[in-house]
């Protein structure tokens, strides 16, 4: 076994570089448009993790020069109220991107709300029209997390062409769009999930392994092909024996870093890239509407 340690893929530094470029883009576009780009993040209830994500997104907007039209609703807000808000934002010329922060309280229908967002203002890239565009290989707003993963692979010179990519998880947020994007980049793609028999036998054949299931430490060293690129999309908050909590991924980081060729940290890997892609989507629809 080699004693080499995996090269870290630094999503935080890469996200900073992307944001610097976006600042320049806005400075060029704003004089033509007469206003800055606008993003509306809608949050319902008081889920602490969601609140932290929303704060991150709004801070990132401020940093690059995107106007925030965020709205925070109490938990008991009705479906109709939210649908009316989305309709108003669809028609608001100052708003280029709309995002509904998930998860929502159980009485709300998230899919119906996401479908209300105009596809060209769908900052999260989750509208069926944008998913259809991805499936057909047509231009459109792309789902932020998988797009961030693809950007990262490109930046670090990991070309999926001809490689075997294994995506663990089949969610509409990550697993499915991720698989389509890898396919578009000419990888041979396997999607594994909770019903997969002998997960380890499949993950061990992956040149590029992308776990996205939300199970801490699911991927251990014996499940990874030596030299593989492991992109950890999992974000799990675990509580230590001393009562402190920390964020970990789906990968058992300490053991896997001795086997993998490339590895993303959690936090500081895919998370910052997701935010960068959200800003990029907002500016893309801003530019398209000029």
Confidence of residue 3 (pLDDT cuts 50, 70, 90): low
The mean pLDDT value for 117-128 works out to 97
**53-57, 92-96, 118-122, 154-158: segment of lowest average pLDDT:** 53-57
Please give the torsion angle defined by the CA atoms of residues 72, 74, 75 and 79, in that order, rounded to the nearest 10 degrees: -80
Nearest to 260 by CA among 217, 212, 290, 219: 219
In 3-state terms, what secondary structure has residue 32? helix
pLDDT of residue 2 exceeding 70: no
Confidence of residue 1 (pLDDT cuts 50, 70, 90): very low
**Global confidence as pTM:** 0.95
pLDDT of residue 82 exceeding 90: yes
Residue with tokens 């029209």: 129
Domains of the chain: 31-120 (3.40.50.10860), 143-271 (3.40.50.720)
- Residues marked as catalytic: 57, 101, 124
pLDDT tens for residues 30-75?
999 999 999 999 999 998 888 888 999 999 999 999 999 999 999 9
Mean residue pLDDT across the chain: 96
Give pLDDT, residue 50: 86
Q: At what angle do helices 48-64 and 11-33 cross, to 10 degrees?
A: 50
- C-beta of residue 232 within 8 angstroms of C-beta of residue 220: no
Sequence-distant (6+) residues with CB within 8 A of 138 are none
Question: CA-CA distance, 30 to 40, in Å (whole number)?
Answer: 18
DSSP letters, 54-84, are HHHHHHHHHHHTPEE--EEE-TT--HHHHHH
């Amino acid at each position: 076994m080699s004693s080499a340690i995996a090269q870290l893929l630094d999503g935080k530094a890469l996200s900073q570089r992307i944001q610097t470029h976006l600042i320049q883009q806005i400075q060029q576009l704003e004089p033509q448009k007469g206003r800055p780009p606008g993003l509306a993040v809608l949050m319902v209830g008081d889920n602490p993790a969601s609140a932290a994500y929303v704060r991150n997104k709004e801070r990132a907007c401020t940093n690059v020069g995107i106007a925030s039209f965020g709205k925070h609703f109490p938990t008991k807000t009705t479906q109709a109220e939210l649908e009316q808000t989305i309709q108003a934002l669809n028609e608001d010329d100052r708003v280029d991107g709309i995002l509904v922060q998930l998860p929502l309280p159980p009485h709300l229908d998230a899919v119906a709300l996401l479908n209300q967002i105009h596809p060209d203002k769908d900052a999260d890239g989750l509208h069926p029209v944008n998913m259809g565009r991805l499936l057909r290989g047509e231009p459109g707003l792309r789902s932020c997390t998988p797009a961030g993963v693809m950007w990262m692979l490109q930046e670090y010179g990991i070309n999926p062409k001809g490689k075997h990519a294994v995506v663990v998880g089949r969610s509409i947020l990550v697993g499915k769009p991720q698989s389509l994007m890898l396919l578009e980049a000419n990888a041979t793609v396997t999607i594994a999930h909770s019903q997969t028999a002998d997960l380890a036998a499949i993950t061990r054949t992956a040149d590029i392994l992308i776990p996205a299931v939300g199970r801490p430490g699911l991927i251990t060293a014996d499940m990874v092909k030596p030299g593989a690129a492991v992109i950890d999309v999992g974000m799990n908050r675990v509580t230590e024996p001393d009562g402190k909590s920390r964020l970990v991924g789906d990968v058992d980081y300490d053991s896997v870093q001795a086997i993998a060729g490339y590895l993303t940290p959690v936090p500081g890997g895919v998370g910052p890239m997701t935010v960068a892609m959200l800003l990029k989507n907002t500016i893309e629809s801003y530019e398209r509407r000029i």
